[in-house]
């Protein structure tokens, strides 16, 4: 062969250009394992055919489809026009950033695509330039474009961006509360109508232990259990005798926590068996020695409770994100980046997806003399005869 730096000789009946994506995970301060090969045998596993054409592969400086070199590029072919939000479809075509009505943009197949945050706006006219122009709480577009609400059932947020025309069957609309739609048959504050609050006592009557008078079947005066107390023996004489913050009755009569678990309260004062295997109960405070409020967390992987409750991982370095690794805070490099200088303070400074001196991993060098490009962490090669036919130099 007369061409220099021949990368490999493979058996192929037809093959034009070879490139691939690196799947190597890169941790800050940790060098990646040995890189994958920089060429691919398309016929791997097939029996050798003596009639097949033997083709040689050489370093290439040509960009594969979708990739290009822009005026502000640092490396050859380092821009993917299909996904780059700053060069979407062509160099310099920047997609808009988040707007005032919840607009978010991404570059998909070389086009700026608008996505609306339903909590803030909707794109009902299909024109990306004016963003998410419609509000989701209007009678004309209630939660979705074109959903028209009648005058007697206005558009309301029934909770957690659940927009709809009026309340669900069996509920009534009572504005001002945490949840605007209530059940008038059992709501103590809206019994048989908005604002109709039931008195918790009955004049001239002593109520059983752990009970109060409330709403039931759209009428006040029903004897009900206080929160987290239950009538587990079905006897009205002793009232609601069972504490439902108990390992044997956790949130309900007969709900027994598994061995090793305790009945605890979440932030909404609801009992729960805490905690599942692999998680630890992070206690906020206790009402009594046996009634504690908190939450369950995996201290080996929870970034907000790493190693111990309340210990938050807060690294702030370029091209990396926080992680909790077996109870220790660490920064993990974003895909396509690596910490090649071993300095954790400047983060993951090396673009291993495009840097020909660190292609796919630190210290993996492409052929600089040939101007070989690094694309998606692979040194580019193509058949030597294609390069020659295209007018490239002969080696």
pLDDT digits (tens, 9 = 90+) for 356-368: 999 999 999 999 9
In this structure, are strands 245-246 and 242-243 parallel, antiparallel, or unpaired?
A: unpaired
| CA distances for 134 relative to 104, 105, 106, 114, 137, angstroms | 15, 17, 20, 14, 9
Spatial neighbors of 151 by CB under 8 A, at least 6 apart, are 139
Q: What is the dihedral of CA 302, 304, 308, 313, to 10 degrees?
A: 100
Lowest mean pLDDT among 46-50, 92-96, 156-160: 46-50
Q: What is the mean pLDDT of residues 318-327?
A: 92
Rounded CA separation 62/373 (Å): 7
Q: Which runs of consecutive H residues, i.e. helices, occur in the chain? A: 384-389
Question: Looking at the predicted structure, is the pLDDT value of residue 76 above 50?
Answer: yes
Q: How confident is the model at residue 54 (pLDDT cuts 50, 70, 90)?
A: low
Q: Of how many residues is the chain composed? A: 395
Query: Using alpha carbons only, what angle is made at residue 214 by residues 208 and 220, rounded to the nearest 5 degrees?
Result: 120
Task: Give the whole-angstrom CA distance, residue 275 versus residue 281.
Answer: 6
* Mean pLDDT of all residues in 274-300: 94
What mean pLDDT is reported for the chain?
85
Q: Give the residue among 353, 327, 357 at the shortest CA–CA distance from 338.
A: 353
DSSP states along 260-312: T-EEEE-TTS-EEEE--TT-EEEEEEEEETTEEEEEEE-TTT-TTSSSSTT--
Non-local (6+) Cβ contacts of 158 within 8 A are 164, 167, 168, 179, 180, 181
Q: What are phi and psi of 69, to 5 degrees?
A: -110, 120
Contacts of 21 (CB under 8 A, 6+ apart): 376, 377, 378
pLDDT at 5 over 50: no
User: What's the sign of the alpha-carbon dihedral 248, 252, 254, 255?
Assistant: negative
Query: Cβ(307)–Cβ(328) under 8 Å?
Result: yes
Is 310 buried (19+), middle (13-18) or exposed (0-12) by CB count in 10 A? exposed
pLDDT at residue 129, rounded to an integer: 76
Query: Model confidence over 372-392: pLDDT tens digits?
Result: 999 999 999 999 876 656 655
Alpha-carbon gap, residue 105 to 82, rounded angstroms: 14
Question: What are residue 288's DSSP bridge partners?
Answer: 291
6 pLDDT band, cuts 50/70/90, is very low
pLDDT interval class at 1 (50, 70, 90): very low
Q: Which of 139-143, 257-261, 311-315 has the lowest mean pLDDT?
A: 311-315
Residue-level pLDDT at 371:
93
Confidence of residue 165 (pLDDT cuts 50, 70, 90): very high
Q: Lowest mean pLDDT: which of 1-5, 74-78, 86-90, 228-232?
A: 1-5
Is pLDDT larger for residue 16 or for residue 119?
Answer: 119
pTM over the 0.75 mark: no
**Per-residue confidence (pLDDT) for residue 102, from 0 to 100:** 82
Q: How far apart are CA 201 and CA 223, in angstroms?
A: 9
């Amino acid at each position: 062969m007369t061409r220099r730096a021949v990368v490999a000789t493979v058996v192929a009946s037809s093959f034009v250009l070879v490139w691939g994506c690196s799947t190597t995970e890169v941790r800050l301060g940790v060098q990646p394992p040995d890189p994958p090969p920089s060429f691919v045998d398309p016929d791997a596993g097939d029996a050798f055919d003596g009639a097949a054409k033997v083709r040689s592969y050489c370093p290439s400086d040509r960009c594969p489809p979708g990739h290009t070199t822009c005026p502000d590029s640092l490396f050859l072919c380092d821009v993917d026009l299909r996904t780059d939000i700053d060069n979407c479809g062509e160099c310099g075509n920047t997609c808009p950033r988040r707007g005032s009505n919840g607009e978010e943009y991404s570059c998909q197949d070389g086009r700026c695509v608008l996505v609306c945050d339903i909590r803030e706006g909707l794109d009902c006219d299909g024109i990306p330039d004016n963003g998410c122009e419609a509000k989701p709480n209007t009678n004309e577009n209630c939660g979705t474009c074109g959903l028209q609400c009648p005058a007697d059932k206005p558009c309301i947020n029934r909770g957690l961006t659940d927009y709809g025309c009026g309340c669900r069957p069996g509920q009534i609309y009572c504005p001002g509360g945490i949840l605007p739609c209530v059940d008038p048959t059992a709501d103590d504050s809206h019994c048989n109508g908005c604002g109709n609050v039931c008195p918790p006592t009955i004049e001239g009557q002593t109520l059983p232990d752990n009970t109060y008078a409330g709403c039931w079947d759209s009428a006040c005066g029903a004897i009900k259990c206080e929160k987290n107390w239950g009538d587990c023996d079905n006897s009205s004489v002793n009232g609601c005798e069972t504490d439902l913050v108990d390992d044997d009755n956790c949130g309900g009569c007969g709900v027994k926590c598994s061995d090793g678990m305790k009945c605890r309260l979440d932030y909404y004062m609801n009992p729960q068996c805490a905690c599942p295997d692999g998680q630890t109960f992070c206690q906020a405070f206790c009402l009594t020695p046996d009634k504690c409020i908190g939450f369950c967390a995996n201290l080996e992987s929870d970034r907000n409770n790493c190693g111990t409750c309340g210990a938050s991982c807060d690294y702030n370095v370029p091209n990396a994100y926080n992680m909790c690794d077996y109870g220790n805070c660490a920064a993990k490099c974003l895909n396509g980046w690596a910490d090649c200088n071993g300095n954790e303070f400047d983060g993951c400074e090396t673009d291993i997806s495009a840097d020909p001196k660190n292609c796919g991993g630190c210290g993996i060098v492409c052929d600089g003399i040939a101007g070989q490009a690094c694309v998606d962490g692979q040194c580019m090669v193509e058949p030597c005869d294609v390069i020659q036919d295209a007018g490239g130099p002969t080696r």
